[in-house]
Chains A and B, each alone.
Chain A
Amino acid sequence: MSSDKAILSQFQLENGALLGGPVEIPLIVNIRQLNSVANGLAQAQQTSTDSSEITPYSFYVDDIEIKESLEKYFEEQTNKQVFEKTLNITCVPKARFQVIPVERCTATIEGHLEAITALQFSPNGKLLASGSGDTTVRFWDLNTQTPFDEYGKAHRHWILCLNWAPNGKIVASSCKQGLIGLWVGATGKQCGTKLLSGHRQWINSLSWQPLHLNGSCRLLASGSKDTTIKIWDTHLFKAVLTLSGHTASVTCIKWGGQNLLYSASQDRTIKVWRTTDGVLCRTLDGHAHWVNTLALSTDYVLRTGAYEPSKESSNVDLDNFDDVTLQTMALERYEKVYNLFDANGGERLVSGSDDFTLYLWKPETDKKPLARMTGHQQLINDVKFSPDTRLLASASFDKSIKLWSSRTGAFLSTLRGHVQAVYQIAWSADSRLLVSGSADSTLKVWNIEKRCILFDLPGHADEIYAVDYSPDGQKVASGGKDKSLKLWRR
């Protein structure tokens, strides 16, 4: 291969938009040089405010990644190189910041009297709430690594589900008797005096209305075993709407960014509802057994709301802003992710089921799935989109985690290492690391770029039921059957 060969290439973004005009590139150019070319083209095109930062890109030609240089890429190709045609290079921006992987357990905190069933970090990563089988909801101070004095005692049965409101102020918790409690995150006190009641059986899943739709975080949706979904007004402590239509237990609900509610159920269907009036939009059929989990491509932005982890260093205190400003900030972040894959935008939904397969849907437009992802040998318990929405990870009871491309549903690789069922997974904020908790009482941190295991974190005495990665990527919290909460840092 002579070193003076060059090829005419056109850089483009994922949704088809072109970055500048065709450029002649010599074949021996490496990734760093390609990066600077792409950055230069991007800056010339837009006058963005953060033009001083360089975005690292990864380059793909026809879905195959260019690892070292164009020369190496062509060597590996068996097709004849056609030098007359323009080569289309797709640039995929990676996260600008890099998360340092967690390595060690910095604290093992006792406090709960029974197994910990639910855990979640607040959207800005500063507070942690956990719910357990001893009916209490506890809040943990991450700086001193001790629990708060006040803790939530109002529930009478096991806590099943916890969810922080996207403004980071309130936590909603649900219990096995079908009651919902609201707590102030900073202090641990209960909001109001009574619990929201209405469901007749336990509540499987909770979901808040996204911040960009309503800055005051008022509406909360809950899906229960009694086959109904209720939408509550948390300021008035009343149920606003009841959505019924499912014929078996509702296992998972997600409030999408376009004011649509997606609900998965044990009756093998997924239903799409309009939350303004409670009308059923469409039913997504296809699974052959219970649908266990749902994941939305915009999950990460909806969870963090107006908080941008990469701007952490600029000392912006979100508490000072009022609801309307927070709403516009959240909307900005949401729009970026929404328009990622297609020109006119679209959310993607993935459903994992007991029939060992996953389906990829575009629920706003189509009734038919985009792709069916098979390969697991046992039921799928947890699915998560990466924060940059390009990858999908699915955890299954067959002890493996599989990675899929979220654009096409193509299988990428399997991560093996656990020796018992994998219960929960969580992505780091830069989408380069994945942490998984399993019934074999270990956590494993996986390097996604190399698709291999990075760290094995043993330490729990019994099964791990809940794992969460803080949205700023600094800490991991895990809790399980051995009643202790562990915090992991680098």
Chain B
Amino acid sequence: MPQNEHIELHRKRHGRRFDHYEKQQKKEGRLPHILSKKAQTLRGIKAKLYNKRRQNEKIQMKKTIKSHEEKETKQREEVPEGAVPAYLLDREKQSRAKVLSNTIKQKRKEKAGKWDVPIPKVKAVSEAEVFRVVQSGKRRKKVWKRLVTKPCFVGEGFTRKPPKFERFIRPMALRFTKAHVTHPELRATFQLPIIGVKKNPSSPLYTSLGVITKGTVLEVNVSELGMVTQGGKVVWGKYAQVTNHPENDGCINAVLLV
């Protein structure tokens, strides 16, 4: 193991042997023979290690050769099957078998009274979460009043009952009038005014109060979208289902039920 660079220094000063390059070439030419002798005579653990290393080298070589070959030949890419004209391109066509099974499934569901909603199962919200107890009376002992802690919808022309008789208090800060409704096919979102709360899946009490939680079905005013029925009448109210937790986010996001 040479310490310092005296070998390189000598090479720089005096050059190499005259037959250096010839000898180098001949040595390289002998290399395959030596390697093959080695591969044939090695035994034991050394053989295993050598074979593994050699295998990797061969794989790399094959890959480079193949990539060179590919560059030379121009290959025609595979054209997929199922050609459709331009007007059918963005439309997913159901296979005919599926259509039949789907109609049967729909008939069964209609019989059972289940409807197609984007979020069918929602975790029910308990009363303890939605209502907070408000104490009243001179000695703060009466506890029959409740404060609603979730966003709700009250209609236009809503006036509170006299405070003495008001059992459920809906604070103004938690009253919403607009919802961000997404059309599922167009993938566009519009801000539409709410007409009313149709059904809150947790409890009919919440429906009557107008409490909006995740999974609530609202009726929204879609006259902005310009949809028309087959009779030529303008559609102005449609159902939408809430998809976020409005009490956490501060806004109501819903998906339109087309």
A286 proximal to B (CB < 8 A): yes
Assess whether B225 is in contact with A288, with CB atoms less than 8 Å apart: yes
The answer for the CA separation of A438 and B228 in the assembled complex, in Å, is 26
Assess whether B230 is in contact with A465, with CB atoms less than 8 Å apart: no
Q: In the complex, how many angstroms separate the beta carbon of B194 from the nearest chain A beta carbon? A: 20
Task: Provide the A159-171 mask, 1 if CB < 8 A to any CB of B, else 0.
Answer: 0110000000000
Q: For residue A134, which residues in chain B have a CB less than 8 angstroms away from its CB?
A: 79, 83
Q: In the complex, how many angstroms separate the beta carbon of B57 from the nearest chain A beta carbon? A: 38
Counting contact residues on chain B (CB < 8 A from A), the size range is 20 to 34
Q: For residue A289, which residues in chain B have a CB less than 8 angstroms away from its CB?
A: 185-186
Q: For residue A117, which residues in chain B have a CB less than 8 angstroms away from its CB?
A: 83-86
Q: In the complex, how many angstroms separate the beta carbon of B166 from the nearest chain A beta carbon? A: 43
Q: For residue B90, which residues in chain A have a CB less than 8 angstroms away from its CB?
A: 249, 266
A205 proximal to B (CB < 8 A): yes
B70 proximal to A (CB < 8 A): no
Task: Provide the B66-97 mask, 1 if CB < 8 A to any CB of A, else 0.
Answer: 00000000001101011111111110000000
Q: For residue A376, which residues in chain B have a CB less than 8 angstroms away from its CB?
A: 230
Q: In the complex, how many angstroms separate the beta carbon of B95 from the nearest chain A beta carbon? A: 13
The answer for the CA separation of A451 and B232 in the assembled complex, in Å, is 23
Q: For residue A132, which residues in chain B have a CB less than 8 angstroms away from its CB?
A: 83
Counting contact residues on chain A (CB < 8 A from B), the size range is 35 or more
Partner of B83, one of A133, A161, A288, A293: A133
Q: For residue B225, which residues in chain A have a CB less than 8 angstroms away from its CB?
A: 288
Task: Provide the A371-393 mask, 1 if CB < 8 A to any CB of B, else 0.
Answer: 01011110001100000000000
Assess whether A466 is in contact with B85, with CB atoms less than 8 Å apart: yes
Assess whether B228 is in contact with A357, with CB atoms less than 8 Å apart: yes
Assess whether A423 is in contact with B87, with CB atoms less than 8 Å apart: yes
Q: For residue B84, which residues in chain A have a CB less than 8 angstroms away from its CB?
A: 115, 117, 133, 158, 465
B44 proximal to A (CB < 8 A): no
**SS class, residues of chain A in contact with chain B:** loop
Q: For residue A374, which residues in chain B have a CB less than 8 angstroms away from its CB?
A: 228-232
Q: For residue B232, which residues in chain A have a CB less than 8 angstroms away from its CB?
A: 372, 374-375
A356 proximal to B (CB < 8 A): yes
A226 proximal to B (CB < 8 A): no
Assess whether A202 is in contact with B89, with CB atoms less than 8 Å apart: yes
Task: Provide the A134-164 mask, 1 if CB < 8 A to any CB of B, else 0.
Answer: 1100000000000000000000111011000
The answer for the CA separation of A133 and B83 in the assembled complex, in Å, is 5
Task: Provide the B196-232 mask, 1 if CB < 8 A to any CB of A, else 0.
Answer: 0000000000000000000000000000011111111
Q: For residue B79, which residues in chain A have a CB less than 8 angstroms away from its CB?
A: 114, 133-135, 156-158
Give the A-B contact count at a CB cut-off of 8 A. Answer: 77
Q: In the complex, how many angstroms separate the beta carbon of B199 from the nearest chain A beta carbon? A: 26
The answer for the CA separation of A423 and B91 in the assembled complex, in Å, is 13
A456 proximal to B (CB < 8 A): no
Q: In the complex, how many angstroms separate the beta carbon of A297 from the nearest chain B beta carbon? A: 21
Assess whether B226 is in contact with A465, with CB atoms less than 8 Å apart: no
When C-beta atoms are compared, the residue in chain B nearest to A480 turns out to be: B85
Partner of A355, one of B82, B85, B227: B227
Q: For residue B82, which residues in chain A have a CB less than 8 angstroms away from its CB?
A: 133
Q: In the complex, how many angstroms separate the beta carbon of B119 from the nearest chain A beta carbon? A: 24
Q: In the complex, how many angstroms separate the beta carbon of B44 from the nearest chain A beta carbon? A: 56
Assess whether B86 is in contact with A288, with CB atoms less than 8 Å apart: no
The answer for the CA separation of A476 and B46 in the assembled complex, in Å, is 79
The answer for the CA separation of A22 and B205 in the assembled complex, in Å, is 76
Assess whether A161 is in contact with B86, with CB atoms less than 8 Å apart: yes
The answer for the CA separation of A293 and B88 in the assembled complex, in Å, is 12
Contact A158-B228, Cβ < 8 Å, known A202-B89, A266-B90: no
The answer for the CA separation of A118 and B229 in the assembled complex, in Å, is 33
Assess whether B87 is in contact with A292, with CB atoms less than 8 Å apart: yes
The answer for the CA separation of A286 and B228 in the assembled complex, in Å, is 11
Partner of B227, one of A202, A288, A292, A423: A288
Q: For residue B76, which residues in chain A have a CB less than 8 angstroms away from its CB?
A: 156
Q: For residue A225, which residues in chain B have a CB less than 8 angstroms away from its CB?
A: 89
Q: In the complex, how many angstroms separate the beta carbon of A467 from the nearest chain B beta carbon? A: 11
Q: For residue B81, which residues in chain A have a CB less than 8 angstroms away from its CB?
A: 114, 133
Q: For residue A209, which residues in chain B have a CB less than 8 angstroms away from its CB?
A: none
Can you add 18 more A-B contacts, CB < 8 Å, to A133-B83, A225-B89, A293-B87? A115-B84, A118-B85, A118-B86, A157-B79, A160-B86, A251-B87, A266-B90, A268-B186, A289-B185, A355-B226, A355-B228, A356-B228, A356-B230, A372-B232, A375-B230, A377-B230, A381-B87, A423-B85
Q: List 5 A-B contacts (CB under 8 A).
A: A157-B79, A160-B89, A249-B90, A289-B186, A377-B230
